Amino acid sequence: MSMNNSPNVFLDPNANRFQVNIINESHDNNETSQEDVGSDPPHYEETSFTDEAHNRLRISYRPGKRELYDNFLQNGEKTEASLHPYDTHNKMYYLQTFGHNTMDPVPKIDYYRNTGSVSGNKLSRPSLLEIHEQLAKNIAVSTGSVERVVNGESTTGDEPADSKEEENKTGFVKFGWVKGVLVRCMLNIWGVMLFIRLSWIVGQAGIGLGIIVIGLSVVVTTLTGISMSAICTNGVVRGGGAYYLISRSLGPEFGGSIGLIFAFANAVAVAMYVVGFAETVVELLKESDTLMVDESNDIRIIGTITVVCLLGISVAGMEWEAKAQVILLIVLLVAIANFFIGTIIPTNNEKKARGFFNYQASIFAENFGPGFRSGEGFFSVFAIFFPAATGILAGANISGDLKDPQSAIPKGTMLAIVITTVAYIGVAICVASCVVRDATGNVNDTVVLGMSCNGSSACGLGYDFSRCASQPCDYGLMNNFQVMSMVSGFGPLITAGIFSATLSSALASLVSAPKVFQALCKDNVYTGLHFFAKGYGKNNEPIRGYVLTFVIAMAFILIAELNTIAPIISNFFLASYALINFSCFHASYAKSPGWRPAFRYYNMWVSLFGALLCCGVMFVINWWAALITYAIELFLYIYVTYKKPDVNWGSSTQALYYVNALDSALALTTVEDHVKNFRPQCIALTGAPMIRPALLDITHTFTKNNGLCICCEVYTGPRKLCVKEMNSGMAKKQAWLTKNKRKAFYTAVAADSFRDGVKSLLQASGLGRMKPNTLVIGFKKDWRNATPMQVENYVGVIHDAFDFELGMIIVRISQGFDISQVLQVQEELEKLEQERLALEATIKENDFEEGKSGICGFFRKARTLNISKHETKKDSTINTIQSMHVGEFNQKLLEASTQFKKKQGKGSIDIWWLFDDGGLTILIPYILTIRKKWRNCKLRIFTGGKVNRIEEEKLVMASLLSKFRIKFADINIICDINIKPSKESWKFFEEMIEPYRLHESCKDITTAEKLKRETPWKITDAELEAFKEKSYRQVRLNELLQEHSRAANLIVLSLPVARKGAVSDYLYMAWLEILSKNLPPVLMVRGNHKNVLTFYS
Kindly report each contact of residues 26-31 with a partner whose C-beta sits within 8 Å and lies 24 or more positions away, as own/partner.
26/57, 26/73, 26/76, 26/78, 26/82, 26/84, 27/73, 27/76, 27/137, 28/76
Looking at residue 74, what is its pLDDT? 38
Cβ contact 618:575 at 8 Å:
yes
pLDDT digits (tens, 9 = 90+) for 630-687: 898 889 888 888 877 777 777 778 888 888 888 888 988 888 888 888 999 999 999 9
Cβ contact 1051:1082 at 8 Å:
yes
**pLDDT band per the 50, 70, 90 thresholds, residue 135:** low
- Measured on CA atoms in the order 623, 624, 626, 627, is the torsion positive or negative? positive
Whole-angstrom distance, CA of residue 364 vs CA of residue 429: 8
Q: Label the pairing between strands 1082-1086 and 807-812.
A: antiparallel
Looking at residue 1071, what is its pLDDT? 95
pLDDT digits (tens, 9 = 90+) for 433-471: 999 888 888 888 787 766 666 657 777 788 888 878 788
Q: Mention every residue, 6+ apart, whose C-beta is less than 8 A from residue 913.
A: 921, 922, 941, 942, 943, 1054
Counting residues of the chain whose pLDDT is more than 90, the rounded percentage is 27
Q: Which helix (H) or strand (E) holds 92?
A: none
Question: 76 pLDDT exceeds 70?
Answer: no
Question: 903 pLDDT exceeds 60?
Answer: yes
Residues, the chain: 1097
H helices then E strands: how many in the chain?
A: 38, 14
The mean per-residue pLDDT over the stretch 883-891 comes to 51
Cβ contact 1064:1018 at 8 Å:
yes
Helix 241-250 crosses helix 652-669 at what angle (to 10 degrees)?
20
Q: Label the pairing between strands 937-944 and 970-974.
A: parallel
Looking at residue 818, what is its pLDDT? 87
Looking at residue 218, what is its pLDDT? 92
Strand partners, 712: 747
**pLDDT band per the 50, 70, 90 thresholds, residue 851:** low
Cα angle vertex 784, ends 779, 785, to 5°?
Answer: 105
Q: In the chain, what is the straight-line distance between the N-terminal and C-terminal CA atoms, in Å?
A: 73
Looking at residue 118, what is its pLDDT? 55
- More confident call, 519 vs 993: 993
Q: Which helix (H) or strand (E) holds 864?
A: helix 855-884
Mean pLDDT lowest among 205-209, 369-373, 860-864, 978-982:
860-864
Question: 411 pLDDT exceeds 70?
Answer: yes
The mean per-residue pLDDT over the stretch 555-562 comes to 73
Looking at residue 166, what is its pLDDT? 43
**pLDDT averaged over every residue in the chain:** 79
Whole-angstrom distance, CA of residue 353 vs CA of residue 439: 6
Question: 967 pLDDT exceeds 60?
Answer: yes
Among residues 330, 502, 486, 360, which one has the least CA distance to residue 429? 360
Counting residues of the chain whose pLDDT is more than 70, the rounded percentage is 81
Count of CB atoms situated within 10 Å of the CB of 995: 10
Cα angle vertex 273, ends 269, 275, to 5°?
Answer: 115
Show the 3-state SS of 547-592. HHHHHHHHHHHHCCCHHHHHHHHHHHHHHHHHHHHHHHHHHHHCCC
Cβ contact 971:922 at 8 Å:
no
DSSP string, 2-50: ----STTGGG-TT-SS----EE---TT-HHHHHHHHHSPPP-TTT--GG
**pLDDT band per the 50, 70, 90 thresholds, residue 807:** very high
Mean pLDDT lowest among 404-413, 680-689, 875-884:
875-884
Sheet with 907-912, side-by-side order of all strands: 745-751, 709-716, 682-684, 774-778, 807-812, 1082-1086, 1050-1054, 907-912, 937-944, 970-974
Kindly report each contact of residues 32-39 with a partner whose C-beta sits within 8 Å and lies 24 or more positions away, as own/partner.
32/56
Cβ contact 265:573 at 8 Å:
yes
pLDDT digits (tens, 9 = 90+) for 208-240: 999 999 999 999 999 999 998 888 888 777 777
pLDDT digits (tens, 9 = 90+) for 1056-1066: 999 888 999 99
Count of CB atoms situated within 10 Å of the CB of 144: 11
Whole-angstrom distance, CA of residue 62 vs CA of residue 10: 10
Whole-angstrom distance, CA of residue 70 vs CA of residue 80: 12
Cβ contact 236:400 at 8 Å:
no
Looking at residue 449, what is its pLDDT? 67
The mean per-residue pLDDT over the stretch 956-981 comes to 91
pLDDT digits (tens, 9 = 90+) for 759-799: 999 999 988 888 999 999 999 999 999 999 999 999 999 99
Looking at residue 849, what is its pLDDT? 58
Mean pLDDT lowest among 101-105, 223-227, 576-580, 719-723:
101-105
Please state the pTM of the whole predicted model: 0.68
DSSP state at residue 179: I
The mean per-residue pLDDT over the stretch 983-1011 comes to 88
Cβ contact 335:195 at 8 Å:
yes
